[in-house]
A and B are shown apart, each in its own frame.
Chain A
Amino acid sequence: MQIRPVIEFRGVGKRFAGIAANEDISFAVNQGAVHAVVGENGAGKTTLMNLLAGLYRPDAGNILVRGEPVDFHGPQAAHHAGIGMVHQHFMLVERFTILQNILLSCESSYGLLPQLQARQKVSAICRRLGLTLDLDATVETLPVGLRQRVEIVKLLYRGGDILIFDEPTAVLTPGETADLLELLRSMSQQGKTILYVSHKLSEVLAIADTVSVLRQGRLVGTVGAAETTQGQLVEMMIGRSLTPSAERQTVTAGPLLLALNAVHCRDGRRAKALQGLSLQIRGGEIYGVVGVSGNGQQELTGVVTGEIAPTGGAVKLAGDNIAGMSMPKVRNLGVGLIPEDRDRQGLVGALPVWENMLLGQLRLPQFCHRGILSGAACRNYVAEQVRRFGIRLASIDQPVCSLSGGNRQKVILARELGRQPRVLVASQPVRGLDIGAAEMVHAQMMAAREAGAAVLLISADLDEVLELADRVGVLYAGRIVREFRPGELSPVEIGHYMLGGGQAVKPQ
């Protein structure tokens, strides 16, 4: 029996404002296979899938479905060809019920809606997949895992047999991820063809039959999942092997740069959030904070950067109390911030890259003379930073929101590190980034450490903290309850402190 390709990309290309998001991509997907598409952020995976799903039209090459060239004028045309996509950002109307969402995208009638038939059909699909969904629940009340199920049911309701999943596990917990992979397996056994986009290689190798790797918009290669390894895929994705985590430079501890003494503060709902938190960080030191989220992480960032005025205690930057100072003042004294939510707190999405890179610094004499900006100086500086940090973009005038997540984070990093801060606060700095971008962010934080900055790293990822930090503090109920050096405690012991075991300790 010969396996026939159900989809074929032939020399497909797509440009956005001059930049090639996809270029000359050719590969075939077999009927009934799980075909993974991997690549770093910005490699062009989503663009390629949007082309197949009819959201965009290719500028070059063509796409064949079941041997026939297709030219979709919109998502509906792709639906008719049996192609459906679960987008990275779900396409659901939050205030509609599950049933309304399904009716919306699956029923073509403009008149009275066939509610009853729809209900029966959805129930049948759910039974086949072994799902339970309350069709009258409003989508906004559902956890993300269930929302994703709704998207899947939508595809099947329309009768799709080629299903595209764009980074489906990015938002899921480990348990939900396992369930999803199980579901994909069973759908593939029922004869559906699945395109699985991800940059999490362990999942990809667990589920896929074939893997196509994209890099900078081009296809690097297509390999059988059984004939490859994670290491090989990483190499294909980033074009080199991963540098084994850079040898740690010994840095002689510098002066005490950041000291918090018995800091108290309240959160937005006026509850006590920090309750006598104390910690000290010297120059050339990375201090990692671990803890279950909601134990004061956001408030810790807030009091150090000036966003929140503490109700008690002292925050000292190189000996001077900065508690209660405004954010711009604190920044000018040399505190940099990589915020937890980069799009809401770190960037102004609609503004161009160069303005974002200079936010908060436009009044510095090198950029501004008597209140007038010097365009050339600004642009030269930004262009230099873009080169240094390897930010991939078409132009520094492009709105920053059109960059990929990794590149947006690099813009923030370039801005914050460009001012050579004495204290750098990094909150979840690599959340949602792929390997290459995360590696780069970590390397830059190490460089800041070597340059003598005090780095406060707050992260939900224990492995990240243990790898980077010189010292670690466990945050529980608004206090550092235990300090240790990586290696001194086992993960189990750390977990014990994170859940409130043990007594508060005085830092040295």
Chain B
Amino acid sequence: MDGLLELAASALRLGIPVAICALGALWSERSGVINIGMEGMMLTGAFWGAAGAFWYGPTAGILLAVAAGLVMALLHAAVTVSGRVDQIVSGVAINILAYGLNRFFGYRIFNMAASSPDVPGLPEISAGGVALSWIVPFAFVLTGLSWLVLTRTGFGLRLQAVGENPAAADAAGISVPVLRYAGVLLGGAFAGLAGAYLSIEHTGMYVEGMTQGKGFIALAALIVGNWNPFGLVGASLLFGLFEAMSFRLVQSQTLPYQFVQMAPYLLTLAVLAGLRGKTRAPAATGQNWSRDET
């Protein structure tokens, strides 16, 4: 029993950053902007989270991480929504930029390129013998809130409309750029939070490349969850479970660990392939928009 409980807790710990990141990607894509820079934004969040926690403690670290995510998102929004640059190209550039910036500031701040010193985390909640970060329950609150705002408020409806049919939204008097900025910025804030969780809460330090593709897995979770908050959180936790199980397998040393570590990613690919054609992205996602008046 204890083993099962510990496995569940481990799945939560590993799945929650993916879930938070996927919620962010949801806001961005529902507004019509693909953000494959989520990985880079999360990594930026992880770095500045560690820096903030190092200087002023964990709460400041989280706030700084969210702010850093917002800055990166602002860049993505400016380039794609205002500049109408291809969204994929901009996302790739953000990932590369994040890597370089972290390295640069790593030297300046910690005198180390690839990691930070140990940083303090928030006090943990412990229940039934397992300890979890406060960010875990908070992520579930965010999930419910995201659903509520997206489906039940004027803001959410407008944001969805902009991602489905910007011309129709425009004709209804909605500002497409404003809502797309809002979607992308929300995405950046979530990515920053996910990064802060990784460095401050999960590992206790920043390590270069510590996101390990979780930002991309989040995009897969978004698809598996059919662009629905609850669905994508479920998919993220499933990924967390795969990963938790693979850790256990690695410890048992039955298979070469490289293969075991591949398993969660392969399973994700398999699930994606199986879902082909069964889920549906917002109709206008990936398409930059302008009212063509010359």
A56 lies within 8 A of B168 (CB):
no
Contacts of B165 in A (CB 8 A): 91-94
B283 lies within 8 A of A94 (CB):
yes
Of the stretches A104-112, A168-176, A229-237, the one at the interface is A104-112
For the complex, what is the distance from the CA of A96 to the CA of B160, rounded to whole Å?
A: 9
Shortest Cβ distance from residue A68 to the other chain B in the assembled complex, whole angstroms: 21
Contacts of A113 in B (CB 8 A): 152-154, 157
B153 lies within 8 A of A104 (CB):
no
**Interface: A327 (CB within 8 A):** no
For the complex, what is the distance from the CA of A473 to the CA of B152, rounded to whole Å?
A: 57
**Interface: A218 (CB within 8 A):** no
User: Mask for A201-214, Cβ within 8 A of B = 1, else 0?
Assistant: 00000000000000
Residue on B nearest A50 in the bound complex, by CB: B293
| Chain A residues numbered 404-431 whose CB sits less than 8 Å from any CB in chain B | none
For the complex, what is the distance from the CA of A497 to the CA of B187, rounded to whole Å?
A: 61
Contacts of B167 in A (CB 8 A): 89, 91
Q: Beyond A17-B294, A104-B158, A111-B154, is A91–B164 a contact (Cβ under 8 Å)?
A: no
Of the stretches B11-19, B169-177, B196-204, B212-220, the one at the interface is B169-177
Our pick among B152, B155, B164 for the contact of A96 (Cβ within 8 Å) is B164
B293 lies within 8 A of A56 (CB):
yes
A111 lies within 8 A of B172 (CB):
no
**Interface: B67 (CB within 8 A):** no
For the complex, what is the distance from the CA of A100 to the CA of B168, rounded to whole Å?
A: 13
Which of B157, B167, B171 has its CB near the most chain A CB atoms (within 10 A)?
Answer: B171
| Chain A residues numbered 51-105 whose CB sits less than 8 Å from any CB in chain B | 55-56, 74-76, 79, 85, 87, 89-96, 100, 103-105
**Interface: A16 (CB within 8 A):** yes
| Chain B residues numbered 202-227 whose CB sits less than 8 Å from any CB in chain A | none
A75 lies within 8 A of B157 (CB):
no
Classify chain B's interface size.
20 to 34
A110 lies within 8 A of B294 (CB):
no
Shortest Cβ distance from residue B137 to the other chain A in the assembled complex, whole angstroms: 24
For the complex, what is the distance from the CA of A110 to the CA of B167, rounded to whole Å?
A: 20
Contacts of A79 in B (CB 8 A): 173
B157 lies within 8 A of A104 (CB):
yes
Shortest Cβ distance from residue B182 to the other chain A in the assembled complex, whole angstroms: 10
Our pick among B153, B164, B173, B293 for the contact of A93 (Cβ within 8 Å) is B164
Contacts of B173 in A (CB 8 A): 74-76, 79, 105
Contacts of B164 in A (CB 8 A): 93-96
Contacts of A95 in B (CB 8 A): 164, 283
Q: Beyond A17-B294, A96-B164, A112-B152, is A91–B157 a contact (Cβ under 8 Å)?
A: no
Shortest Cβ distance from residue B240 to the other chain A in the assembled complex, whole angstroms: 30
User: Mask for B141-165, Cβ within 8 A of A = 1, else 0?
Assistant: 0000000000011110110110011
Contacts of A74 in B (CB 8 A): 173
Contacts of B170 in A (CB 8 A): 75
B154 lies within 8 A of A110 (CB):
yes
Our pick among A91, A107, A109 for the contact of B168 (Cβ within 8 Å) is A91
A110 lies within 8 A of B153 (CB):
yes
Residue on A nearest B284 in the bound complex, by CB: A93
A111 lies within 8 A of B283 (CB):
no
Shortest Cβ distance from residue B252 to the other chain A in the assembled complex, whole angstroms: 47
Contacts of A85 in B (CB 8 A): 171
For the complex, what is the distance from the CA of A91 to the CA of B291, rounded to whole Å?
A: 14
| Chain A residues numbered 1-16 whose CB sits less than 8 Å from any CB in chain B | 16
Residue on B nearest A111 in the bound complex, by CB: B153
For the complex, what is the distance from the CA of A94 to the CA of B294, rounded to whole Å?
A: 28
Our pick among B154, B158, B171, B283 for the contact of A91 (Cβ within 8 Å) is B171
For the complex, what is the distance from the CA of A100 to the CA of B291, rounded to whole Å?
A: 23
Known A95-B164, A103-B157, A110-B154; further 14 A-B contacts with Cβ < 8 A: A16-B294, A75-B171, A75-B173, A90-B168, A91-B168, A91-B172, A93-B164, A103-B154, A104-B157, A104-B172, A105-B171, A111-B153, A112-B152, A113-B152
List the 10 closest pairs (A to B, CB-CB), nearest first. Answer: A76-B173, A105-B172, A91-B171, A91-B168, A109-B154, A110-B155, A110-B154, A93-B164, A93-B165, A93-B161
Can you name 5 A-B pairs with beta carbons within 8 Å?
A17-B294, A55-B291, A85-B171, A93-B164, A95-B164
